[in-house]
Amino acid sequence: MEGHSYAGRLTVEENLLVVDMSKSLARPKDILYTLKRKDGLNVTTMKTIYNARQKSRVIEKAGTSEMQVLLRNLFAHEYVEWHRSYGTANIVSDLFYAHSTSIKLLRAFPHILIMNCTYKTNRFRYPLLEIVGMTSTHLTFSIAFVNLSVEKEDNYRWALARLRSVMDDNSIPSVIVTNRELAIMNALHEVFPGV
C-alpha cells in the first residue's frame, strides 16, 4: 500500500503539527522531514502536506473574503491599517499598513525616508509603495506599505497623509528620497511642505 493516499494519511497529531509549522512559515519539505523523523514508518508524501495546508487555509478563511482575512490578520499582529473603498460593494482601492514597532522606529529616526513603488508583485497588479526609514547607524527599516489602485497624485496624497498622521510634530523628516515621479513629488510637497 506504499504510495497510496490511504497509507500516507496524517493522524490528528500530525495534522496539528503541519498546521502549526505552516503558521510558523516552515517550508513543506521541512514539515515532511519533521514528520518522517518523528515516525520512521511514516509514508506521507509532499502532496499530503500540500493538501493539509490547503485544508487548513480553507477552514481558517471560513466563508470570509481574502480582504477580510488580511484585515483580521493585520489587526491580530498589531498593524496600524487604513483603507479606502469605493462603490456600494465597498471594494478596497487603497490599503495602508504599518507595524506598531515600525512606527516607534519612525518616531525615533524620522530624519531620512525612502519611498518607491514596486510593480506586478501581486496578482491584482497593484503598485506597492514601500516607505523605508534610516537609523543613525545607516541601517534601513521598513515603516509602511501601501497598496495603491493607481499611481496618481490623489492616491499618493492619501497614503502620505496616513503616514503623516502616525508621526509626531517633532518627527517630521528632513529628507525624503524617491524616484522622479511627478505624482508622488507633488503629493510630498502638499503633505510635507519644506522637506
C-alpha to C-alpha distance for 156 and 182, rounded to whole angstroms:
11
C-alpha to C-alpha distance for 40 and 12, rounded to whole angstroms:
17
Contact 16, 56 (CB under 8 A): no
C-alpha to C-alpha distance for 103 and 110, rounded to whole angstroms:
10
What pLDDT shows up at residue 125? 75
What pLDDT shows up at residue 192? 93
Q: Show pLDDT as tens, one digit a residue, over the chain (195 residues).
A: 455 555 467 888 888 888 888 888 888 888 888 888 888 777 788 888 888 888 888 887 777 777 888 888 899 999 999 999 887 777 888 999 999 999 999 999 999 999 998 876 677 778 899 999 999 999 999 999 999 988 899 999 999 999 999 998 888 899 999 988 899 999 999 999 988
What pLDDT shows up at residue 2? 52
Beta-bridge partner residues of 131: 115, 144
Distance of CA 65 to the CA centre of its chain: 16
Extract long-range pairs of 85-94: CB within 8 Å, 24+ residues apart.
92/67, 93/149, 94/146, 94/147, 94/148, 94/149, 94/155, 94/158, 94/159
What pLDDT shows up at residue 123? 72
What pLDDT shows up at residue 120? 66
H or E segment to which residue 176 belongs? strand 175-177
